[in-house]
Amino acid sequence: MSTRIFYFYIIAIPALLIFFYGLILRFRRILSGSIDGTENPVKVADFRIFITDIIYLFLNRKTMKAFLIDVLIQRRLFKQSIQRWMMSVCFAWGFIELFFIGSLGDMLHERGIISLPKDTPIFALLNEIGGLLVLTGVCIAFYRRLFKKPNELITEEEDILIVSWIALITLSGFFVEAIRLIIQNVPDYIAIYSFIGYGLSLILKKFQIDWKQLDNIMWYFHAILSIGLVAAIPFTKLFHIFSSSLNLMLEAKEE
Amino acid sequence: MRITDIRVRKILEMEACTRCGLCLSVCDSFGATGDESVAVMGMIKRRKRLSRRSLDIFSFLKPRGPEISEEIHNFMEGAYRCTLCGRCTQVCPVGIRTRDMVVYLREELVKKGNFPSNISAVLLALKTQHNIFNYPNEERVLWLDYMDDVPENIIKNRANTVYFVGCVSSFSPAAQDIPQALLKILIESGEDVTLLGGEEWCCGFPLIIAGFQNEAEELIRHNTDMVRKIGAKRVIFNCPSCFYTWSKYYDLNDVELLHETQFFAELLREGKISFKGLNRKITYHDPCDLGRGMGVFEEPRMVLKSIPDVDFIELSKNRESGFCCGGGGDVEIVDRSIVEKINFHLIEEIKKTGAQIVVSACPQCKRTTKSGIKTKGEKIVQMDISEIIVNYANIKR
């Protein structure tokens, strides 16, 4: 295990513990049936029933249909506003791709479970598309919240903070990739699949910098920001990833 | 508790709100006040802020809010300024049943003893007089005095059909044309109909939506017993809110519940009504509780479109997205100024269609819209669909 991966786990383990602790707190509040979580103390058995209920939702044809159409494709949002839909699906699909292909793929490769070097054309291309999708979502979000400012869109500090956080993760990711391409001297015909990182590397190459040192800084910066965002999910409005999906599926079941 | 438990579901719905603002974009109360707290998004925010175990890690970034009692008061002020029109339910991308959510939040407030003082007067009126106007309940059928040819035994011990008039149509002079018209149609079409007279009690709707569902039980029980005693097979309503309440809260599975628009569509299909021509531009305004609440959209249109020579024009927002008249949600009891602003918006939309007559099927819509048209000095005529039939159709047995 490389030093980087070792330190990544050192950061990731407490972050994931915070994430799961936050999820438990949040779902405990929901299961208590009262907003302050005090009316009905939630027991471990309640969580067991809750998890069983969720598993059943994924075994039900009606709720799975809602999961595909209303959660993944976000049909309802599409019907209301194409711009909002674009923003939301860019974030959702971008992160899904980056998590399942980028992070998980890379992790499995690191552990020798699969062979998926970073410069495998399809892997590099999908990672880049994922990043681009998230960045598109960031741009639409900033445009709507800072420039378009429709009456009904009330922007709070948390909104700006989260979008900025995501923007930093995405941009730092492209920088990490660009610096890697420079350090590893990846040939152009391979590097081109990481089209944004590659383009950035062509610009960065013109500067005289200690790339190895910068690579370390950027890598840790990107890793801390990314894993930090995961830890923040239950404590911010990002929790809607779970709560909204669950609500849409339950609604379909009750219809 | 299971995830399907009503209270768990409501908290989950609150947690599902992304504050996307789509509910605000269609909220007439927000349009009238510019205050987020009158819309479901703002109510959810306030309710969550009241949480003692807030998980908001960004709270340090936000300005210090008011004291808790003031916060509860502000929350209540907002919650009782929603007309419960349900337009937001149609647009919510995460499936929050916003109308039910507002009623739930009001119930929560009531449990803690927080509700507007004006609501207390309604509570008292319903407890003592069994109608929201606080008039002696025996006066429910005073409008009969202004009708010709009404059989003397219109209040019977046994009948096939009960015509449940509702408080607004019974007592509000601005809406009394409706029961007069509907009763005439019922009699002329040969329906074996009775009124409940002084034994008709409020359906419970104003209490239920104010968060006092338990207090509505006595009214519900009384009306149910009356229908059972009479042996009626069907109950007909001209008020969509009564129709909604009976359909959702009354246990009368073997009794057919019909709104007047459905009854008229039935008469039309049976050939019992035929229209003379009406050379006018007309539009139809969907009452919230009838349309979004009960899904009755096509029957009134079917009736109106069957009138020869009529030029039927839809409002720019209709059916599931139809405008609110402002008269719902008990807002009139709490803050009349909002009702007027919302209604003026509706009138502007009616004007855009160029319609000479705006038809609706709700006594509360009639009251508010008629009053709005008068205040604005417009030339549009407001009519209930029953009045259209009485004035422009031949009715056969």
pLDDT bin (cut points 50, 70, 90) of residue A36 is: low
CB-CB neighbours of B357 under 10 Å: 19
pLDDT score, position B53: 44
pLDDT score, position B66: 64
CB contact under 8 A, B55 and A29: yes
Q: CB of A240 within 8 Å of any CB in chain B?
A: yes
Q: Assign B67 to helix, strand or coil.
A: coil
Helix or strand run (H / E) with residue A94:
helix A82-97
* pLDDT tens-digit series, residues A164-194: 999 999 999 999 999 999 999 999 999 999 9
CB-CB neighbours of A48 under 10 Å: 10
Residue keyed to tokens 């990043």: A131
* pLDDT tens-digit series, residues B199-235: 999 999 999 999 999 999 999 999 999 999 999 999 9
B59-78 burial, b at 16+ Cβ within 10 Å, e below that, comes to eeeeeeeeeeeeebebbbbb
* pLDDT tens-digit series, residues B378-397: 999 999 999 999 999 999 88
Distances (CA, A) of B376 to A163, B125, B344, B354: 46, 32, 8, 16
- Looking at chain B, which residue has its C-alpha nearest residue A42? B1
Residue keyed to tokens 């175990």: B53
Whether residue B144 contacts residue B154, with contact meaning beta carbons closer than 8 Å, is answered with: yes
* pLDDT tens-digit series, residues A86-104: 999 999 999 999 999 888 8
Does A38 score more than 90 pLDDT?
A: no
CA dihedral A78, A82, A86, A87 (to 10 degrees): -100
CB contact under 8 A, B2 and A243: no
| CB neighbour class for B270 (10 Å; exposed up to 12, middle 13-18, buried from 19) | exposed
Amino acid occupying residue A224: I
Does B50 score more than 90 pLDDT?
A: no
Least Cα distance to B115 among B265, B330, B394, B380 occurs for B330
pTM: 0.92
ipTM for the whole complex? 0.92
What gap in Å lies between CA B82 and CA B208, rounded to an integer?
Answer: 14
- Looking at chain B, which residue has its C-alpha nearest residue A27? B12
pLDDT bin (cut points 50, 70, 90) of residue B54 is: very low
CB contact under 8 A, A154 and B30: no
CB contact under 8 A, B4 and A254: yes
Strands B357-360 and B234-237 turn out to be: unpaired
**Beta-carbon-side half-sphere exposure of residue B48 (alpha carbons within 13 Å):** 27
Mean pLDDT of B174-182: 97
Mean pLDDT of B340-354: 97
Q: CB of A40 within 8 Å of any CB in chain B?
A: yes
Whether residue A182 contacts residue A205, with contact meaning beta carbons closer than 8 Å, is answered with: yes
| C-alpha B6, offset from chain centre | 23
List of residues 6+ apart from B273 with CB closer than 8 A: B185, B189, B264, B267, B389, B393, B394, B395, B396
Average the pLDDT over each of A43-47, A216-220, A238-242 and give the range with the smallest value: A43-47
Write out chain A residues lying below 8 Å of B96, CB-based. Answer: 247
Residues 8..37 of A with a Cβ closer than 8 Å to B: which?
22, 25-26, 29-37
pLDDT score, position B7: 82
Does B8 score more than 80 pLDDT?
A: yes
Write out chain A residues lying below 8 Å of B17, CB-based. Answer: 240
Q: Which of A247, A249, A253 to probe the B interface (max B CBs under 10 A)? A: A247
pLDDT score, position B58: 54
pLDDT score, position B49: 82
Q: CB of A106 within 8 Å of any CB in chain B?
A: no
* pLDDT tens-digit series, residues B109-147: 999 899 999 999 999 999 999 999 999 999 999 999 999
Mean pLDDT of B289-317: 97
Whether residue B330 contacts residue B106, with contact meaning beta carbons closer than 8 Å, is answered with: no
pLDDT bin (cut points 50, 70, 90) of residue B103 is: very high
